[in-house]
Structure 1
Amino acid sequence: MDLTLALKALIMGIVEGLTEFLPISSTGHLILAGSLLDFTGEKVKVFEIAIQAGAMLAVCWEYRVRIASVITGIGSDRKAQRLVLNLIIAFVPAAVLGFIFNKSIKAVLFAPVPVALAFIAGGLIILWIERRNRGAAGVARVDTVDDMTAMDALKVGLAQAFALIPGTSRSGATIIGGMMFGLSRKAATEFSFFLAIPTLFAATIYSVYKERALLSVADLPWFGVGAIAAFASAFLCVRWLLRYISSHDFTIFAWYRIVFGFVVIASAYGGWVTWAE
């Protein structure tokens, strides 16, 4: 395996893992990082989706006890059955819309400037939700994942569908959307983690299968490097985020998105950086 290719795959994997579960858009950061690294093309787009499986496995490992209890209790435990049903309900909107519009989205929106605009818009929405929550009286309507109804799951699933727009952030859409619909910060974050498992798994399988003609056995090493790096960095990020949300809100991520978005737009139109499309 070419050393330069391996290094680029490693960097991209780290970027994926660090950004997948934060409300700052992993897809957006991968597009921008790939552009700066001159790591672009149709095969790279498949790579960017495939290494999400590494990040997804980090969640599986972090919640392995809970996942095992759900699997073993699916036949008799009402809480386990409710969680699985809610995940299916929340998964469907993005799956259906992604299947229909995936090609158009890749053709039009997988570019630095549209991603930057989505960064800014998402940041403003986070600021609005956080300000609204600070001014709201009382506590969240849904305190834990086990308290969620099917309608709560559907609302979060519809919010996740907005993440089909690169730069929006899947985790940001599900966490902030969940909070907007009455979930506590912890419940929204944990449900976002659980929802990542079927969502990222399905996206990886679909993308690799659909673009299988582009791939060969020779691609396995650098795909593997990216996936392992994504697993390691996502594992650290998930643990950090769970500690962070116990005493902080998401305002810092909102300002990061806004500032970063404006920097990308300014660099593109000012000619400081030649962003690859």
Structure 2
Amino acid sequence: MTIWQAVILAIIEGITEFLPVSSTGHMIIASSLMGISHLEFTKMFTVNIQFGAILSVLVLYSRRFLQTKDFYFKLFVAFLPAAFFGLLLNDYIDALLENVVVVAISLLVGGIILVFIDKIANDYPKDREVTYTEALKIGFYQCIAMVPGVSRSAATIIGGMFQGLTRKQAAEFSFFLAVPTMAAAAGYKFLKTYESIQASDIKILLLGNVVAFIVAMLAIRFFINFLTRYGFKLFGYYRIALGIILLTLLALGYKIEIV
């Protein structure tokens, strides 16, 4: 992997991680188009740079993380389903990551849901505290995102809105929940592959995390402002278009290889 390839992937991670468009799907597509999807380092890199994205949430919402223990207990409750099913279905999830058709269909179906989510789920006028039961339910919605192309952000935001949260509150809880979830996933992947990391790879990993951090900071601010004013439709249409393009390319015989 070259430095420029690392920068491109990090920019994509920073933009898409907290938007409901599937960062995993975009990383799979981008790495495949650049011809580096078969590299073991690429798979580790795309997970590791989530640390940079996580840091952006901690910086932007630093005051929110200096709260009572109740805040952290709720995040822990919401994190449990993903931790359990992630370990249980790890091999199956890895197999799905190699299937571009799954990514394309997930993008398409998720896009259709986002187009109509504002009408399906009422947007209550006032924020309120998330209950433990609601946190657990949102955690189960997050498990749906184990299917590549679904989007962790989309699944948890939709789950939050179905619990009666406002769009902004659902999005912010999704950001908070991303911290333990992504940290666990990135840490687990790093521990499995760190022995194969070379000295030159460390510089690329550091660069990727810095770029992902900066871009994610900008993306989160844009997303919250855009979401509160316009809702999810544009993201839904984008996902539908991308899903159709992928399925069309595959139907025409173009190969998007993921080894």
Moved more, 179-188 or 87-96: 179-188
Stretch of structure 1 that moved more, 110-119 or 149-158: 110-119
What is the match of residue 132 of structure 1? 120
**Alpha-carbon distance between aligned partners in 2 of 1:122 and 1:128, rounded to the nearest angstrom:** 10
Q: Is the 8 A contact 2:47 2:185 kept in 1?
A: yes
Instruction: Measure, in 2, the Cα distance between the counterparts of 1:206 and 1:163.
Output: 18
CA–CA separation in structure 1 for the residues paired with 2:8 and 2:255: 20
- Hey, what does 1:22 align to over in structure 2? 19
The residue number in structure 2 matching 1:49 is: 47
Q: Displacement, 1:177?
A: 1.2
Task: Using the TM superposition, give the Cα deviation of residue 131 of structure 1 relative to its aligned residue in structure 2, in angstroms.
Answer: 2.4
Change (3 A) 1:29 1:263: same
Residue 143 of structure 1, aligned match among 117, 120, 127: 127
Aligned to 2:197: 215
Q: 1:238 aligns with which of 213, 216, 220?
A: 220
**Structure 2 match to 1:158:** 140
CA positional deviation for 1:217: 2.7
**Is 1:274 aligned to 2:258, yes or no?**
no
State the shift of 1:254 in Å.
0.8
Identity, % of aligned positions: 39
Query: 1:20 Cα shift?
Result: 0.3
Maintained 8 Å contact 1:115/1:166:
yes
Larger radius of gyration: 1
Q: Retained in 1: the 8 A contact 2:117–2:232?
A: no
Q: Offset of 1:124 from its aligned partner?
A: 1.8
Question: 1: CA distance between counterparts of 2:40 and 2:84?
Answer: 22
TM-superposed deviation, 1:43: 2.2
Partners of 1:142 and 1:182 within 8 A in 2: no
The amino acid that maps onto 1:89 is V
Alignment map for 1:246-261 (pairs within 5 Å): 246-261=228-243
Report if aligned partners of 2:145, 2:155 keep a CA contact under 8 Å in 1: yes
- How far does residue 181 in structure 1 lie from its aligned partner after superposition? 1.9
Equivalent AA in structure 1 for residue 159 of structure 2: G
Query: Which ranges of structure 2 fall in alignment gaps of 5 or more residues?
Result: none
Alignment of 1:35-114 (within 5 A): 35-40=32-37, 41-67=39-65, 69-70=66-67, 80-114=68-102
Between 1:103-112 and 1:184-193, the stretch displaced more is: 103-112
d(CA) in 1 for partners of 2:203, 2:84: 32
Give the CA deviation at 1:141: 8.8
TM-score (norm 1): 0.88
Matched, 1:189 2:171: yes
Contact persistence 1:46–1:211 (CA under 8 A): yes
Check 1:227–1:111 CA distance in 2 against 1; reply closer, same or farther (3 A cut): farther
Distance 1:250 1:89 in 2: 27
Shift of 1:188: 0.4
In 1, distance between residues paired with 2:232 and 2:55?
Answer: 24
Q: Which residue of 1 aligns with 2:105?
A: 117
CA RMSD between the two structures: 1.6
CA deviations on 1:199-254 (whole Å, 9 max, x unpaired) are 11111111100223332333111112211111111010011112112211101111
Q: Which moved more, 1:105-114 or 1:162-171?
A: 105-114
Whole-Å separation in 2 of the counterparts to 1:30 and 1:132: 30
